[in-house]
Every structure is written in C-alpha cells, then in structure tokens.
Copies of this chain bind each other. A is one copy, B any other.
C-alpha cells in the first residue's frame, strides 16, 4: 500500500505518528506492507521551501494510492489579511490539483461519550449522518479581487452542471448503501448556483427511484441540524455551505477529536481528521489522535477496499474509549494518557 504522509502543522505530526503506528500494526496483522512517503505541506512547507503545497509534495501524492493528512494552519498567518502566502492556500491548491471533489464527513455518536455533547441525549441518540461536501468548486475557486482603488471586493461562486452531477451521484450512491434518504442543501430561493444544484439533483432522481430526496435551504438545515440531527442521513451540498454545516455538525457527537473524513478525487483520495492544527497543544503530546486513527480506518476501507482492517481499527478505538485509555480531553477526571501512549496502546 503506497501512502503519502502529509503531517502538516501544529499537532499534525503527533497525531499522524499514531495513525502510522496503528496502520502498520493492522497491516502486519493482515499481511500487508505499507510504504509511507512523507512530504511537506502547510506552514511547515512555507518555512522550508516558501510554498504551502510544493510541486514535490504533489508528485508524492499523485504517485501514492492514498494520502494520509494531519492538519494545516498556523496562527502567525491568521490575523494578517495581507499575508502573501498562507498555509490554507496549500490546502486549497492540493484539493484542486488532486481533484478531491467530494469531502465525506460522517457524524455519529459514541455511546460512551454521548453525554459530552452540548446537545441533550434524546436529541442526538442514534445520530449517524454523513455530509458530502463539494470541495473543488464554488466560491472557493471562482474569480475574486478588488476594484475601485481597493474599496470594492468581490468573490464569484460558479458551478457547472457536470461538477454538481458528479457530487450528486456520489450522494445518491451513498444513500443507496444507507437508508436511501438524501437531502440536497442549497439556497435556491436566492442563488442561481443553488438553482442549478436543485435542477441537477432533480434530474438524477429518476435514475435512483428508490432514494427519497428532500430539498432544504441552508439556513433551515443549520437550524434542524441542532434540533433533530438524527432526522438526517446523507446530505449533499456545495463547498461553502459544506464548510459551515460540517463544522456545526461536528459538535453533535461532543467529540470533535474523534471525527474522521475522506476526500475522494480523480487522481487519489485523502484522509484527514476534521479538527484543525490546534497550535496551542502542538509538541505537548496531549492531542487526541483518534480522529486521525479513524481516518486511517476510512482509508483502509475506502481507498483499498480493506473492510476487515478498517473494522479492526474501529474496534480497538472503541475498546480504548471503553477502557478509558484516552487523552485529557476525554479523561473526565480519570487518568489522561499522552498522545503517544494512546497510539502505542492501540497499536
């Protein structure tokens, strides 16, 4: 298994280390061999070569069968609107150049952690939804700039029918494998791009007659996600709405540090925890590695079709939670294990 390893910034390297340990252990057990090829990205890459997603890194990713990614971002760029190079640009360039058009973000609850949620138990019990966020189009990649002596700024949101259809098809397929419920999230009462989304999804309905499709406005979904998250199953949406809603949804489980994600593409696919680079914790060996470990599980399953391997990882993660082998964010007054100790235990 050829895997590109992009640790990135902040706690990235630490959590990635644990995912590597666990992946190697599971590979050994099931008789696979993993070739890890590390490459630079994010602020770390800016410091080393002046670019957040260097060509050399791109080569490594293209050559690999999958990419395991840590986190990107550094506070020194955050409050400087004039910074010329930003770590986030690396992320966006990577998504675009690798054609990672579908970001898959499951949100589910862990029975043992359900009371950590800010939401009441009865509202979230049984929640098991998945967002499919379009990742290489929309206002993220449209034309933008300034006019009128820098006094006017603009950004353009663009979608083609083909881009929408590609993402929507994945949504229908995923719905077929789950409960056959699909929600198309848009703002078709205002935006032309949303009307194209709605139109395109409506046209696909006849190809998937078993799937029950609902169309909801993004503002209504932002509301209902908190009110009744377990009323959703598969949700598809454009890039910016997906950014906002998937982060909102990540709160439901009460344990952002546990949520994995996959980004499916034309050239390869990429797996990463949904949490950020958490710079305050960097280097302290305290960050929760489980989201990254569970991202590795998604990688085994999605990129390599290795379901048992993925299941083995999920099982040992559940066991660590049940036995309290957890980092401080989940320790609840009990013993707090180090990041590396959790990784060792899981491996």
Show the binding face of A for B, using Cβ within 8 Å.
Answer: 78-79, 81, 86, 88, 92, 118-120, 123, 139-140, 142, 144-146, 148, 151-162, 187-193, 195-196, 198-199, 202, 215, 218-220, 222-223, 225-228, 240-241, 243-248, 250-251, 256
Contact = CB atoms under 8 A, between A and B. Distances in A.
Contact of A247 (B159, B220, B240): B220
A102 to B, nearest CB: 18
Contact of A248 (B162, B199, B226): B226
Listed residue (A140, A142, A156, A195) with the most chain B CB atoms within 10 angstroms of its CB? A156
Given A226-B251, A247-B219, A81 B157 contact: no
In the A-B complex, the 9 residue pairs with the smallest Cβ-Cβ separation, listed nearest first, are A153-B196, A219-B247, A222-B248, A144-B192, A153-B192, A154-B158, A153-B193, A151-B161, A81-B195
Nearest to A254: B227
Chain copies in the assembled complex: 2
Contacts of A228: 118
Contacts of A246: 219
Nearest to A152: B160
Contact of A155 (B120, B157, B223, B244): B157
30 contacts: A79-B215, A81-B188, A81-B198, A118-B123, A118-B227, A139-B139, A140-B190, A144-B191, A144-B193, A145-B192, A146-B192, A146-B196, A153-B158, A153-B193, A154-B158, A155-B156, A155-B157, A155-B191, A155-B193, A187-B243, A218-B244, A219-B243, A219-B246, A220-B247, A222-B244, A222-B245, A225-B248, A226-B248, A226-B251, A227-B251
